Structure 1
Amino acid sequence: MNPSASSAHFESQSSDDLADDWLFLSSESAEPQGQEVGRDDQEAEDKGKLKSKLVSAWNSVKYGWSLKQKSKFSKSSPVIMLGKSYELKNEREKELFRRSFASLLWLTYRRGFPLLAGCSLTTDSGWGCVLRTGQMLLARGLILHLMPPGWTWSASHHVVKDDMDLLRPVDAAENGWDSNERLNSRGRKLSLGSRLDRPMEATHRRMASWFADQPAAPFGIHQLVELGKSSGKKAGDWYGPSIAAHILRKAVAASADLPNLAVYVAQDCTIYLQDVRRLCERPLPQSWKSVIILVPVRLGGHDLNPSYITCVKRLLTLQCCVGIIGGKPKHSLFFIGFQDDHLLYLDPHYCQPTVDTTKENFPLESFHCKYPRKMSFSRMDPSCTIGFYAKGQREFESLCTVVNEALSTSAGTYPMFIFAEGERQEEVPGSCLTTNNITYIRRKNELRRVDTSNSMDEFVLL
C-alpha cells in the first residue's frame, strides 16, 4: 500500500473517522539510518534490507494491517484510559484524550538494527511483540516516575496542521498563542510554552533512547533478548507475558539510570507485602524506592472468564495502573483503557525502520501513535501481565487499598490475584504443586486441579 496514497484516502474521509498512525509518519523518520559503506558492503546491506522488508511485508499480510478497519469511538459514553475518564462529546476533553494518548511511548517492530547476539536477525518482526508491549508498559511507568503529573508531549516543532491533529496545545486559545506562530521554523523565536517544555523534552528524548534498537540501550531489544537467555529464550522465540515481566525486572535492576526505581514481579498470583517492602526500603528513614509491580495471571482457560471483565475494567480506572500486556496468542497488545465493551490498546505489530537515537534531535514521530485502536473484550486472551506503579510508601499503601477494592468485584470467583503479608516461600507444601502440566491451587481451604498443558506460558490459572 502506498503511504501517500493511503494518507490522501483517509484525509478525504470524515474528520470523525480515525486512521492508522503509520500512514502519517514523517518522511524523516521513515528514512533508514546508517553510515556510508563500500560498494560490496552496500550490496550486502541492500540485500539484508530487502530481506527485512520482505519479512515485514509478510507479517503485514499475516496480521492483516493493510485491511484493518479504523476504530471509531462513541460520543455517548466516556473513554477510560490509564485512570482518567474523557467525555468525547466535550471538545476540550476530546482534545485532552487525544493528546494524552499521543504522549504515550509507542514501541513497535523495527528493522535494520544491529545484529542480535548469536544470530543473523536484524528485525524482531513476527516474534518480538510481547517484548515490545513490555517496553510500552515500562515506558508508561517511567513517564509517571520521571515526568510531572499530567505531562503530555507538546511536539512543538512538528505539529501537523489538519483537523485530526492530536498534538495541538489544549490551552492554545486560552493563552493567546496564534497557531501560525507555533508552526514557525526552529530558527525563529520559540513561544514561552516551548521554552518551559524544553527540560521535559530532554527527559522525553532520553527515555525514548533507552528503548533504542541498539546493544547499549538499557531497555532495547538487544538487552531484553540477552536477559531472556536465562529463561531459556533466544531471539526469534515466543516470549510469554510472564517471562517478559521477569525480563523487565532484570533490565531495570541492571540499569544505572534508574537507581530510585525497582520492579517487583508477583509469584503465584500473589503480591507478598514483606518482599515489596524489602525491595523498596532504603537506609534513609522514611525513604522508599518507587516500584513497578507486575502481576502475571491467566484469567480462564482458552477464553477470558466473563466474570473477570468487570474486574479488568475497574483496574484500568485506577491511576496507579500502568496497563496490561495481553492480546491474542502470539499476538500481544498493550491495553491502556476501554470504552463500553471494547478495550483500548497500542499495537506493536507494525515494522518501522530503526531510528538512530545517537543523533541530535532524532525524529520522535515513530515513537508516538496518534490514532487509538480498540477491540472487544471477548477477543482478549486470558494470559496477561498487569502493571501498577507507586511513587513511594504512601502511594504503595494506597495502591494496595484501591486494587483490593477493584479485585472484590470478581465476587463468586477466585480473585485475579491477592495481597499477602509475609514473604514468598520457595516451597509451600500443599499450596501449589506443579507436575505433568497440572497446577494445584489452594485458595480458601479448597484445592483445585487445572490442566495447563495448552498454556502459552507458566501461569497459575484461576
Structure 2
Amino acid sequence: MNPSSSSARCEGQSPTDDLMDDWLLLSSESAGPLHLEVSREDQDSEDRGKLKSKLVSAWNSVKYGWSLKQKSKFSKSSPVIMFGQSYKLIDQERERFRCSFVTLLWLTYRRGFPQLPGGSLTTDSGWGCVLRTGQMLLAQGLLLHLMPPGWTWSVSHHVVRDDMDLLGLNSKEGSNKRGRRLSLDLRLFRPMAATHRRVVSWFADNPTAPFGIHKLVELGKSSGKRAGDWYGPSIAAHILRKAVAASTDLPNLVVYVAQDCTIYLEDVKRLCERPPPQSWKSVIILVPVRLGGQELNPSYITCVKKLLTLQCCIGIIGGKPKHSLFFIGFQDDHLLYLDPHYCQPTVDVTKENFPLESFHCKHPRKMSFSRMDPSCTIGFYAKGLKDFESLCTALLVCLLLPQALSTSAETYPMFIFSDGKSQEEEKGGYTPPNNITYIQRKNERKRVDTSNSMDEFVLL
C-alpha cells in the first residue's frame, strides 16, 4: 500500500498466526526508482543543480525504498508498548493500536520544495533524516500539548469528511437520526481536525513554516551546519529549541535541552515560570546522550524500555550514523520506529483541505535493540508544574535501573538532575562543542575523538 494514498482505516481482522505481518509500507510501484525527464535545453547551472537534486532523491528512494518492502513480524502473545500505552495485538486491542499508530505525524524526506538558501537543493533526501526525526519528536510533543487525551486522527479525519460508514451509521436509519449523530460528531471533531491540520502546516516544506526544513536549516547555521550536511541528534535538539523559541504560535510552550547529560532544575524553573494565573508553562525536555562507545551498552536497554513505558516520554531520535530513526516504543527485544527515509513529493499546505495522508504512516516497523546506535536524543513533555514533578520522580526511578541491574562498577545513569543551574547558562549561552567529548571514569577525564558519529555527547 502506498503511504500517500487512501485514507487511514482502523478496521481489520484479528491475526490468526502467532507472528503476523505488519501493514506493508511500500508497494513495489512506490518503492521503485523515479523516472526523470530532463530537457536537453536546460544547461544552465540552476537546472543542473535541480537535476542533481532529483537524481540524489531518486537514488535514495531506491536505496531506502527497497529496504522498506521487507516485512516486520509482530507477536500477538506479547504486548506492544508505545508512548506509555500497552497494546495486545488481538481483536479490539489491535485496532486500538493501529488507530493510535496512524495518528502519529510521519515526517519524511521530501522533494520539489523551494530551494534551500545557499544552494540549489530542492530535496533533503540523503542528508535530512535527523532533522526529520527531530520534527517527529517535536510533533509528538505538540500533539500532547494541543490535542485532548485519546484523540485519534483517523476517526476525526473521517468524521469531518462526512463518511457515514465510518460513523457506524446504518443506511436503514432515519435521516433525522443520522443528521443528529453527524452534527454531534462534527461539533466534537471539527475543531480538533482543524488544530491537527494547523500543526501539520507548521512542518511544511516552505520558508514560512516555523518548524519546516527551511527554518531548521537556517537555525543550524549558528552551529556551523548548512543544507546537505549531517545533523547529529544533539545539534538537532538545540535547533528545535531555537525554533520553538522563535515561534509566535506557541507562547505557552518552551523547550529545554539538557547540558552534559544533566537536567538543571533551576534552568527549567526559569524557563517555565510565568506570572499568575497561569504560573507554569508547558515544557519539552530534550536530553542528548551517548549510551556506550560504538554500540549500545546492553546495561541501558532495560532503562530505554522503562523510559518508553512512560507517558511523558515523546520518543527517541537516533540510529546508525546518517540513518536516523524515530523510536516510539518496543515489543520484547525490538524497538518500534518511524522511518524518515522515504522521499515523497512536497505537499502545498496553502491549499484548502490539502491532503494529509502522506503525513501519517499506516505500517509499523521494528528492529533489534542491538542495532540501535548509542548516540541519541530522548524527549519528554510536561504540561504543567505537577506533571513536571511527576516526570522528575518517574525518571529518577528509571535512571537507577542500570546501576541496580548491572554488576559493572562503571555503569552510570543515562543522565542526572541537578538543583542548580548550568555554568553555560551563567555565562549567558551555550554552544555545542564540535566532535569532542569526555569520558568520566572515577575522577579521571580522557579526551576522545567522536568525529565518526559527527556529533557531541558526554559518553556514559
TM normalised by structure 1 equals: 0.82
Partner of 1:18: 22
Equivalent residues of 2:241, 2:254 under 8 A apart:
yes
How has the CA–CA distance of structure 1 residues 398 and 233 changed in structure 2, closer, same or farther, with 3 Å as cutoff?
Answer: same
Cα distance in 1 for residues equivalent to 2:68 and 2:359: 23
Equivalent residues of 1:438, 1:449 under 8 A apart:
no
Partner of 1:451: 448
Cα distance in 1 for residues equivalent to 2:242 and 2:156: 35
Partner of 2:429: none
- Secondary structure of the 2:75 match is coil
- Secondary structure of the 1:245 match is helix
Q: Which moved more, 1:281-290 or 1:95-104?
A: 281-290
* Aligned pairs for 1:322-361 within 5 A: 322-361=314-353
- Secondary structure of the 1:73 match is strand
Partner of 2:413: 415
Q: Which moved more, 1:266-275 or 1:150-159?
A: 150-159
- Secondary structure of the 1:142 match is helix
Cα distance in 2 for residues equivalent to 1:398 and 1:304: 28
How has the CA–CA distance of structure 1 residues 197 and 286 changed in structure 2, closer, same or farther, with 3 Å as cutoff?
Answer: closer
Equivalent residues of 1:440, 1:447 under 8 A apart:
no
How has the CA–CA distance of structure 1 residues 438 and 215 changed in structure 2, closer, same or farther, with 3 Å as cutoff?
Answer: closer
- Secondary structure of the 1:136 match is helix
1:228-265 deviation digits (Å, cap 9, x = unpaired): 00000000000000000000000000000000000000
Partner of 2:74: 73
Q: Percent of aligned positions with the same letter in both sequences?
A: 77
How has the CA–CA distance of structure 1 residues 210 and 24 changed in structure 2, closer, same or farther, with 3 Å as cutoff?
Answer: farther
Measured after TM superposition, the shift of residue 369 of structure 1 is 0.3
Partner of 1:59: 60
Task: Confirm whether residue 270 of structure 1 aligns to residue 262 of structure 2.
Answer: yes
* Aligned pairs for 1:15-414 within 5 A: 16-23=20-27, 51-63=52-64, 65-66=66-67, 68-89=69-90, 91-154=91-154, 177-178=169-170, 190=182, 192-284=184-276, 287-411=279-403, 412=406, 413-414=411-412
Cα distance in 2 for residues equivalent to 1:179 and 1:134: 45
Measured after TM superposition, the shift of residue 92 of structure 1 is 1.3
Cα distance in 1 for residues equivalent to 2:172 and 2:395: 46
How has the CA–CA distance of structure 1 residues 180 and 214 changed in structure 2, closer, same or farther, with 3 Å as cutoff?
Answer: farther
How has the CA–CA distance of structure 1 residues 70 and 179 changed in structure 2, closer, same or farther, with 3 Å as cutoff?
Answer: farther
Cα distance in 2 for residues equivalent to 1:153 and 1:436: 40
Cα distance in 2 for residues equivalent to 1:99 and 1:435: 41
Measured after TM superposition, the shift of residue 194 of structure 1 is 3.9
Measured after TM superposition, the shift of residue 17 of structure 1 is 2.6
Task: Give, as a single letter, the amino acid of the residue that structure 1 aligns with 2:21.
Answer: D
Task: Give, as a single letter, the amino acid of the residue that structure 2 aligns with 1:72.
Answer: K
Measured after TM superposition, the shift of residue 44 of structure 1 is 11
1:13-51 deviation digits (Å, cap 9, x = unpaired): x9943233354999xxx9xxxxxxxxx99x999988765
Gaps of 5+ in 2: 7-11, 35-40, 160-164, 174-178, 427-431
1:313-333 deviation digits (Å, cap 9, x = unpaired): 000000000000011111000
Equivalent residues of 1:266, 1:296 under 8 A apart:
yes
Measured after TM superposition, the shift of residue 93 of structure 1 is 1.2
How has the CA–CA distance of structure 1 residues 455 and 329 changed in structure 2, closer, same or farther, with 3 Å as cutoff?
Answer: closer
Q: CA RMSD for the aligned pairs?
A: 3.5
Task: Give, as a single letter, the amino acid of the residue that structure 2 aligns with 1:323.
Answer: G
Cα distance in 2 for residues equivalent to 1:272 and 1:312: 21
Measured after TM superposition, the shift of residue 75 of structure 1 is 0.2
Equivalent residues of 2:147, 2:192 under 8 A apart:
yes
How has the CA–CA distance of structure 1 residues 392 and 59 changed in structure 2, closer, same or farther, with 3 Å as cutoff?
Answer: same
Measured after TM superposition, the shift of residue 456 of structure 1 is 2.4
Equivalent residues of 1:135, 1:219 under 8 A apart:
yes
TM normalised by structure 2 equals: 0.83
Residue correspondences, number: 417
Measured after TM superposition, the shift of residue 180 of structure 1 is 11
Task: Give, as a single letter, the amino acid of the residue that structure 1 aligns with 2:387.
Answer: E
Cα distance in 2 for residues equivalent to 1:239 and 1:19: 30
- Secondary structure of the 2:329 match is strand
Measured after TM superposition, the shift of residue 87 of structure 1 is 1.0
How has the CA–CA distance of structure 1 residues 288 and 377 changed in structure 2, closer, same or farther, with 3 Å as cutoff?
Answer: same
Partner of 2:424: 426
Cα distance in 2 for residues equivalent to 1:282 and 1:427: 19
